[in-house]
Amino acid sequence: MKTRVDVLLRDEAARFAFRFACDDCAHFAAAGQRCSLAYPPAPRREALEAPALELCKAYEMA
């Protein structure tokens, strides 16, 4: 799902500790820098600096 990144999203992400990056997902193996579901490793934490953010529908918090 593509989401436009704007000032409001950045503010709310900081205020509510929004977790969206592969690095925070239960399916992501940090040691191998890859997803156990074989998705490409994106978005990463610096994605809030881009004009748009594509969120993974398989994201799970551990």
Instruction: Please write the tens of the pLDDT for every residue from 38-62.
Output: 888 888 888 889 999 888 878 877 5
Query: What is the value of pTM for the model shown?
Result: 0.70
3-class secondary-structure state, position 53? strand
Which residue did the predictor score with more confidence, 59 or 16? 16
Tell me which long-range contacts 35-42 makes (C-beta under 8 A, separation of at least 24).
none
Question: What are the structural domain ranges in the chain?
Answer: 2-54
